[in-house]
Amino acid sequence: MSSRLINWFKFSSPASFYPLARKISVVSTVIAVVLIVIGLYMSFFVAPTDYKQGEGYRIIFVHVPASWMSMFIYVVMAGWAALGLVFNTRLSAMMAQALAPTGAMFAFISLWTGSFWGKPMWGTWWVWDARITSELILLFLYLGYMALRAAIDDPRRGDRASGILLLVGVVNVPIIYYSVKWWNTLHQGSTIKMNNQTTMDETMLITMLIMTLGFWAYAIAVAMARVRTVILERERSSTWVRGLTAAEI
Amino acid sequence: MFKPLFWVIRRDLTIAMRRRSDVFTTLIFFVIVVSLFPLGIGPEPNTLRQIAPGIVWVGALLASMLALEQIFSADHRDGTLEQMLLTPQPVSVLVVGKVLAHWLVSGVPLVVMAPILGLQYDLSVDVQLILVASLLLGTPALSLIGAIGAALTLGLRSGGVLLALLVLPLYIPVLIFGAGAVEATASGLGGQAHLSMLAAILVGSMVLAPLATAAALRVAED
């Protein structure tokens, strides 16, 4: 019975995960390049011009997938942190660590492109809209996690401390989102609605999905490449890493 | 379960009373920060009345954040904290006791001082009452949430700045509802809903924050 089950814990060992990560990284790099090239071509040349916002709306094809990814990656990191705290596996914390810079980058891209989009559409670089504000706070949470990680020298303590921080953060994200939302409606009433186009052209939707999948593949590729370096750095005194470097030299 | 709780509270209060200057530093910081804003913005009473809730609240938030480091650091340095973790009592109860004592020492003075600062901003009596009520509900929540950050950064090199980076984003809901309650009362809408939300945050953080703090302390003392 047990022989038929896949032994998931086999790959929780950094040594056996290291070669697998390389394979996943290569495959998803290829997928990411293909999808993003197709997605960018479609977003610039295939998707129709928006009747209200003109050509400027095309920034949506980067902006929305980046926002989705920034939120999704935080939840994934919290999931890895929970796994790491429960099973005490080193690799889980390494995965969370490897994902953090990518998530922070997506949050930043989301804010940056949003700002570029807001200037021609709303006439301002920044609005204290609920979603923009919570995206900014999400970026702060990423930065806090990375700062805590970097401040702790002992890697095992860093794993667990930053894991607790991630879990605290993920509990707080919905609370922060709703409080910001209510704060905004109480303050000024939403004069600008970001979702005024409820019906979307099908080509636009497909383009956005392709871009999202491309960003997914990118995030996986980069996280796997980064986790490989994290593994090498952390396990540098183990025999298998020494064997690896000796073989390369 | 209540015996160790009261023991921790009494012990921490005794220590705080023998080092009274720490209490006053936090309080004076609060007064100075809140008094700086009119100097930067200008003495126009209408503007001041409008921004008062936010400024008093941000001042209280920063002051209570600065006081956070003291919750665990002295006990961590002389090893008392390690001994506390070794006792058979649940760590989260000890954490609740320490946070409560900390709030009595650093939070309550802020609440008492707030109406006097409100006078500087020409707030009316009923707005002042809501200000005190919101601070009374909000500052313990700040201490509870902040304790997680204090435990996580225990004994780290750049503890103070890092603590601010970790804790301030988590403070945002408390700030929104706290300042919102005062503002809603001032504009005649009534601050009931905001106060209820603050109370909900307080209850929620009272349940969850000590668990996270206890876990973080175990990591730090390992």
Domain boundaries, chain A: 30-48+58-242
B219–A144 C-beta distance less than 8 A:
no
Asked if the C-beta of A157 comes within 8 angstroms of chain B's C-beta atoms, the answer is yes
Distance from CA of A174 to the nearest CA of B (A): 10
Counted residue by residue, chain A has a size of 249
B173–A175 C-beta distance less than 8 A:
yes
Per-residue pLDDT at A189: 45
Any idea what DSSP says for residue A191? S
Q: What is the pTM of this model?
A: 0.87
Q: Residue A79 corresponds to which amino acid? A: G
Is A6 or B79 the better-scoring residue by pLDDT? B79
d(CA A38, CA A211): 8
Q: Report helix, strand or coil for A202.
A: helix
Q: What is the mean pLDDT of chain B?
A: 89
Is A235 or B203 the better-scoring residue by pLDDT? B203
Q: Among B72, B219, B221, B222, which would you mutate to test the A interface (most chain A Cβ atoms within 10 Å of its Cβ)?
A: B219
Q: Which residue of A has its CA nearest to B164?
A: A144
Q: Across B106-183, where does the E strand assignment appear?
A: none
Under the banding of pLDDT at 50, 70 and 90, the label for residue A8 is low
Kindly state the average pLDDT of the residues A41-61: 79
Under the banding of pLDDT at 50, 70 and 90, the label for residue B191 is confident
Look up residue B199 and give its two tokens.
Answer: 């109370």
pLDDT surpassing 90 at residue A165? yes
Exposure of B53 in the CB half-sphere (CA atoms within 13 A): 26
pLDDT surpassing 80 at residue A197? no
* Residues belonging to chain B with any Cβ–Cβ distance to chain A shorter than 8 Å: 148, 152-153, 156-158, 162, 165-166, 168-170, 172-173, 176-177, 180, 184, 197, 201, 208, 212, 215-216, 219-220, 222
Cα→Cα distances A98→A73, A84, B108, B151, B153, Å: 11, 14, 42, 24, 21
Q: Which residue of B has its CA nearest to A185?
A: B180
d(CA B129, CA B182): 9
Kindly state the average pLDDT of the residues B150-176: 88
Per-residue pLDDT at A3: 52
The pLDDT tens digits for B14-66 are 988 888 887 888 899 999 999 998 898 888 888 888 888 889 999 999 999 98
pLDDT surpassing 90 at residue B118? no
Q: Among A132, A172, A188, which would you mutate to test the B interface (most chain B Cβ atoms within 10 Å of its Cβ)?
A: A172
pLDDT surpassing 60 at residue A198? no
Give the range with max mean pLDDT: A139-148, B149-158, B181-190: A139-148
Per-residue pLDDT at A118: 80
Under the banding of pLDDT at 50, 70 and 90, the label for residue A195 is low
Instruction: Please check whether residue B147 is in contact with residue B70, taking contact to mean a CB–CB distance below 8 angstroms.
Output: no
d(CA B64, CA B113): 13
Asked if the C-beta of A169 comes within 8 angstroms of chain B's C-beta atoms, the answer is yes
pLDDT surpassing 80 at residue A220? yes
Residues of chain A numbered 47-86 and touching chain B (CB < 8 Å) = 85
Under the banding of pLDDT at 50, 70 and 90, the label for residue A138 is very high
Other beta carbons within 10 Å of A2: 5
A182–B219 C-beta distance less than 8 A:
no
Q: What is the 3-state secondary structure (H, E, C) of A204-235?
A: HHHHHHHHHHHHHHHHHHHHHHHHHHHHHHHC
